[in-house]
Structure 1
Amino acid sequence: MWGSFDYPEVATQEALKNHRCILVDLLGAGYSDKPNDFTCTVDSHAEYLAEFVSSIGLESFILFGHSLGGAVAISLATKCRDRIDRIILSEANLDKSSEGSTSKYIAEY
């Protein structure tokens, strides 16, 4: 969820030096502001990210999702099926948990 805060060290590892890494903060998370008129749903995040992927011309990419980003990655993959090379999920909150928790909502999605 907080790509620019949590993952710069990962993205700059020697093994990734020949890869383009784009770190994304979901709207309203990390260093990103939350627009007043934005609903923070999994599908809403996936929709603007699909537009972003198209706008920068990514034809094939590996998608990494952490925490809430895991559910967003799965939703984004359905919108960009023909462009996804593979998906990597880390602590993706896909297991149901207690009633009222964000993780339960994500897992049900």
Structure 2
Amino acid sequence: MRDAVVTPEGDRIRWVELPGREPARVYVHGLGATSPAYFAATACHRSLIGHRSLLVDLMGHGLSDRPTHFDYTLESHADALAVALDEAGVAGAEVIAHSMGGSVAIVMAARHPRLVSRLVLADANLDPITPAPGAPGSGGIAAHSEQEFLRGGWEQVRDRAGAHWWATMRLAGREALYRSAVHLTRGTTPTMRELLMRLPVPRTFLFPEADGPFRGAEELRLSGVTVVPVAGCGHNMMLDNPDAFARVTAAALGS
């Protein structure tokens, strides 16, 4: 485990690092997750092993600090991650990012282009989401006020999430989880989809094949984004079908 101070108050982002050749590969988890748990099998897969790999936990999640003064916008997440990568001596990384982590990676690539040479996005959030009580994921969390969530709304989220997701979600700070969800549903201006289409680096977007045609896929393809279905999985494709996920990721990276 390694770490870097990323805020003026001394808060630290932490990551698990595997040695290997450059360019480095940076793995970024989704909301309420943690990269070592979600990406260990991917980073060590026979088709991907051998590169320096950083399995990073975003601010407020997993091994990283959980400050309550941090606002947890997508921009703040991206800037904090950029500071950590600078401290780690990373530049021109191949970034593999899931769900909210994909949104953060897009924003980081737009704001800190020297850090990213290639993006592989696993079912990343590209558009704003309308919060709704009882909805899964960020939409259900953001339907609460922060006070409601901290006072007990998190228990409803825990029960809907189930034991598997809650195993990592419980490691996140509650303010971090709530604010991250709220800002993920709000998205960015321009939207993450628009930012992605403007990026000059090679980009691949992976989605579960069972979800059917991906909305806006043709528009993404016309902007140079490769859109690839992944068989035998749901949203957590690296856990549901790790071999298929690793193979399509390796293909996207040219490995």
TM-score using structure 2 length: 0.39
Residue 186 (structure 2) pairs with residue 105 (structure 1): yes
Q: Name the % identity.
A: 32
Question: Who is 1:59 aligned against?
Answer: 91
Mapped partners of 1:83, 1:47: distance in 2: 11
Mapped partners of 2:129, 2:112: distance in 1: 29
Query: Larger radius of gyration, structure 1 or 2?
Result: 2
Residue 43 (structure 2) pairs with residue 6 (structure 1): no
Mapped partners of 1:45, 1:65: distance in 2: 13
Greater strand percent: which structure?
Answer: 2
Question: Who is 1:35 aligned against?
Answer: 67
**Aligned partners of 1:43 and 1:75 also within 8 Å:** yes
Deviating above 6 A after TM superposition, structure 1's stretches of 4 or more consecutive aligned residues are none
For structure 1, the residue ranges without an aligned partner over 5 or more in a row are none
Mapped partners of 1:96, 1:36: distance in 2: 24
TM-score using structure 1 length: 0.83
Aligned length: 109
Question: Who is 1:47 aligned against?
Answer: 79
Mapped partners of 2:116, 2:41: distance in 1: 24
* Two-structure CA RMSD over aligned residues (Å): 2.1
Question: Who is 2:116 aligned against?
Answer: 84
Sort the Cα spacing of 1:79 and 1:68 in 2 relative to 1 into closer, same or farther, 3 A: same
Sort the Cα spacing of 1:83 and 1:30 in 2 relative to 1 into closer, same or farther, 3 A: closer
Mapped partners of 2:187, 2:97: distance in 1: 13
Question: Who is 2:155 aligned against?
Answer: none
1:61-92, CA deviations, whole angstroms, 9 ceiling, x for partnerless residues?
11122111111001110232133211111111
